[in-house]
Structure 1
Amino acid sequence: MRRKLIAALGVAACTAALAGCGDDGSGGGGDPDALTVWLMDGSAPESWVTELNEAFEREHGVEVTVEIQQWEGIQDRVTTALSEDGTVDVLEIGNTQTVGYANTGGLAALDELADQPWTESMLASAEVDGTLYAAPWYGANRVVVYDRSVWADAGAEVPTTRDEWIDALEAIEQNTDAEPIYLPGQSYYVLGGFIADEGGGFAVEDGEDWAGALNTPAGEAGMEFYAELQSFSTSPTDNDEAEPQQSTEVVPNQEVASWIGLGWEAAGAIAAIEEQGGEADFGYFPIPGKSADELGHVFLGGSNLAVNERAGNPEMAREWLRMATSAEWAQKYVDANDGGVVPNRTDVTASPASGSFAEAMVASADVGFLPPLTTGWANVETDPNPIKELMTNVLDGEDYASAAEAADSEITTRINRE
């Protein structure tokens, strides 16, 4: 996950309570009385990290050093760390990146944790060929953020199906001056959810390789619904959700009735509106599905925890990871985040506040999807992203089959390149 989970998580500060955290990558160096853990900026509340490490140190007599890492440039730092002895023992890895690191031989197999009651939608990102190489830690996904007052003025109802969603946007368009929904032309993980609703995906396994799968009925149907939603937006067709940043550069500066975003984006929009002297009146609902029986699929971002195959203290690394992802400490982690994360285990309960972003987010956990879990997927996401290009081309009027054929060719080439 490339962004902070939600603003409420805060920034895990480098304090003495975190056992001298930093990011110099010094590592435990094989010291049996020391352990080095890399966690990403914004992933864990400081209170949880401190309490966990104090409990671990009491039980094992091992000092834990937590080094907070920034997302920018993390893939290069992790690659380097996994190629050196004793740099880091336990590390947080984005769920879409885990399979790639496991395939390079950098992560230790965690067979002893395979029988834990992991959340099924999160488990796939931690396994390769039936072997567990990481433990799921947390998940997060997008929901629809809406302006309660605008929806009330329009007489729009919170939808439970796609059709009702379109009805609400039409009511807003007809009865207010607000933009019914801000939807950039290139929010491709949102598109991926609509394709998953149709039973499809960005790519499929083709023997030992992968092949692009957009030129399919599922791909076309998903894009057709995306285009219908996007027709209610004034966003250029070549924008994505980050440029301009929808939460801070768009929503606070124009009348937007609704948009699709992550928890940290909702918090950022509220802060930006308040800085301008306004007051946000946001409500939240899960992305609706084709029927009221099932919610729409959403990209389930998040992180896993893994043990470095070349850890300096492998035994204690496994013990720390086991404790951190146990039912007891996973529940404490969810509670520390006010229920605003998708739990990693089925024996952990998230109880977010009624009407909160977290409540809408957790409701969709069972219909989370992931992109193709293969090392080559990172090549597909590199600019220019062929899925984003397809979206812009189709929204600008190009025939879907032609655009999808070109995108599939590029996806196939890139995804099979190590």
Structure 2
Amino acid sequence: MARKSSATVALLGVSALALASCAGGGAGGGDADNTIDGDVAGDIKVVTWRTDLVEDGTFDKYAAAFNEEYPGVNVTFEGITDYAGEMQTRMSTTNYGDVIGIPAIQPAQYEQFLEPLGDTADFEDTYRFLPAASFDDTQYGIAFGGNSNGVVYNKRIFEEAGVTDVPTTEAEWLDALQLIKDNTDAIPLYTNYKDGWPLTQSFGNLGAITNDPDAPVTMAEDTAPWTEGNDVYAIDSLLYESVAAGLTEEDPLTTNWEQSKVDLGTGKIAAMTLGSWAISQMQAAAEDNGASADDIGFMAFPANVDGTQYAVIGGDYNLAVSKHSKAKAAAWAWIQWVVEDSGYTEAQGMISPVIAKDLPENLQGFADAGVELMEINPAPEGKEGLINEIADDSQIDLYGPLYRQKLVDIARGAADGDKDSYFAELNERWAASAESLAG
């Protein structure tokens, strides 16, 4: 799935050995030598969502370079297309790799599955995006790069359709897609319904619509978040209205993620709601198929607050060491090296988790458009993971595709209801869980 996400980190002024030492304390039982500050040696398996980098040999090149510094480590890779889904199943076993991207588990469960890296405070001067992999002041993961959320689009198709300005409201968005449908042969918006996980990407805009850096807590404490004026309403309304207006692919049951990259790169698709991690993949697909990488653009989610657009930036999957790894020091050394020295973020055009590093060139257009970048605040004590708990209890998979696939089905007439009735149902289910869990 070549997806989603990741990036390269530098530890700026802190050597890998020094950081491993200060982060020490890991294993908590078991073999006394098998701690994250032990000997860097042994066999480690890196389980990754970046199947493209496994298949094209990029990760093997990283491993060869890593072995120049750590010759006693044997690194192998396993790429998983449905990473989020399959890893949820694997986490019920003890065999889920040595280095993983943390799947959607509750923060309170981190210590059950992951090796602690150290106190979060020890990392705060160096890294962005720490809260997602932190619990009870302990850090369990480091982001493998970072992304902005928004829309990847083909600038050439927008221009050919007569769209002169990027849309900043839902109405402008629908008008732009209609122009594309009327004046080009491109599919205006591609949902990637069949693969499922791309439908989840737009949820990363939570907070951008209302400029609310506390948006996850705001939503958790709201008994009717699918109400106009709220973030999740705007996110899901944009999808619903685009489908209902006939501005998406004709048959969502046959979408194909890998082919969609080629089609957006060559102009058969005009736009997809994805994170900025996808830009480099679309550019590569364009060049590999005779089109120009310069055609690929990235815009903020079409919403604004008093004329200003916002874009949420956040970490990709957080790299973590398995609690069950038999080579924890080697796994931790790999994480530090791949984030610091591999060149991954630069190659992928991602935001470095290293605070001192500049934004990638492919996001400089945000500055030209006056888009302001924002990070989501850590949840206050006692509310870490509250939004996840409510989502689980209400059986609304905020980070999965099921409820959005139903939204698409309703919008295209393949399921009963309409936007108002479905949003009312979501609000009812959410309210019951929020009142029970949030108090």
Matched, 1:214 2:226: yes
Select 1:150's aligned residue among 138, 142, 157. 157
TM-score normalised according to structure 2 size: 0.63
Equivalent residue for 2:309?
Answer: 294
Where do residues 135-146 of structure 1 align in structure 2 (5 Å cutoff)?
135-140=142-147, 143-146=150-153
Equivalent residue for 2:410?
Answer: 393
Equivalent residue for 1:68?
Answer: 77
Select 2:344's aligned residue among 330, 333, 345. 333
Between the aligned partners of 1:329 and 1:249, the Cα distance in structure 2 is 30
SS in 2 for 1:69: strand
Between the aligned partners of 1:414 and 1:350, the Cα distance in structure 2 is 39
RMSD: 5.0
Contact 1:7 1:263 in 2 (8 A): no
Matched, 1:125 2:132: yes
Between the aligned partners of 1:241 and 1:202, the Cα distance in structure 2 is 36
Where do residues 10-409 of structure 1 align in structure 2 (5 Å cutoff)?
32=39, 34-39=41-46, 40=48, 41=51, 42=53, 45-57=59-71, 63-71=72-80, 72=82, 73-81=86-94, 90-94=98-102, 96-97=104-105, 99=107, 102=110, 105-112=112-119, 114-116=121-123, 117=125, 119-120=127-128, 122-140=129-147, 143-159=150-166, 161-162=168-169, 165-166=173-174, 168-173=176-181, 176-179=183-186, 181-184=188-191, 188-189=199-200, 191-193=202-204, 196=207, 197-198=209-210, 199=212, 204-205=219-220, 213-214=225-226, 217-218=229-230, 219-230=232-243, 233-235=246-248, 239=252, 247=260, 255-261=268-274, 262-263=278-279, 266-267=282-283, 269-270=285-286, 273-274=289-290, 282-288=295-301, 289-290=303-304, 293-297=308-312, 302-315=316-329, 317-325=331-339, 328-329=340-341, 332-335=343-346, 337=347, 340-352=349-361, 366=374, 374=388, 380-381=396-397, 385-393=402-410, 396=413, 398-408=417-427
Between the aligned partners of 1:272 and 1:359, the Cα distance in structure 2 is 29
- Deviation for aligned residue 1:385: 1.5
Equivalent residue for 1:21?
Answer: none
One-letter amino acid of the counterpart of residue 282, structure 2: A
Residue deviations 1:137-164 (CA, integer Å, cap 9, x gap): 2234565344444333333224263365
Contact 1:126 1:134 in 2 (8 A): yes
Q: Unaligned 5+ residue runs, structure 1?
A: 10-28, 58-62
Structure 1 pair 146–138 and aligned structure 2 pair: CA distance change class (3 A): closer
Structure 1 pair 369–290 and aligned structure 2 pair: CA distance change class (3 A): farther
One-letter amino acid of the counterpart of residue 293, structure 1: T
SS in 2 for 1:311: coil
Between the aligned partners of 1:321 and 1:310, the Cα distance in structure 2 is 16
One-letter amino acid of the counterpart of residue 91, structure 1: V
Structure 1 pair 348–35 and aligned structure 2 pair: CA distance change class (3 A): farther
- Deviation for aligned residue 1:228: 4.2
Between the aligned partners of 2:334 and 2:264, the Cα distance in structure 1 is 42
- Deviation for aligned residue 1:67: 1.9
SS in 2 for 1:80: coil
- Deviation for aligned residue 1:311: 3.5
Residue deviations 1:34-58 (CA, integer Å, cap 9, x gap): 233332243764444332332244x
Equivalent residue for 2:26?
Answer: none
- Deviation for aligned residue 1:203: 9.1
One-letter amino acid of the counterpart of residue 4, structure 1: R
Between the aligned partners of 1:193 and 1:8, the Cα distance in structure 2 is 17
Contact 1:150 1:178 in 2 (8 A): no
Count of residue correspondences: 369
Structure 1 pair 257–215 and aligned structure 2 pair: CA distance change class (3 A): closer
Between the aligned partners of 2:7 and 2:126, the Cα distance in structure 1 is 25
Structure 1 pair 51–165 and aligned structure 2 pair: CA distance change class (3 A): same
Contact 1:102 1:133 in 2 (8 A): yes
Which shows bigger deviation, 374-383 or 185-194? 374-383
SS in 2 for 1:152: helix
Between the aligned partners of 1:188 and 1:395, the Cα distance in structure 2 is 15
Between the aligned partners of 2:345 and 2:74, the Cα distance in structure 1 is 22
Between the aligned partners of 1:314 and 1:244, the Cα distance in structure 2 is 34
SS in 2 for 1:181: strand
Between the aligned partners of 1:182 and 1:352, the Cα distance in structure 2 is 25
One-letter amino acid of the counterpart of residue 329, structure 1: D
Contact 1:270 1:280 in 2 (8 A): yes
Between the aligned partners of 2:299 and 2:351, the Cα distance in structure 1 is 14
TM-score normalised according to structure 1 size: 0.65
Q: Aligned residues: percent identity? A: 15
Contact 2:143 2:319 in 1 (8 A): yes
Residue deviations 1:356-376 (CA, integer Å, cap 9, x gap): 9x999xx88745799977478
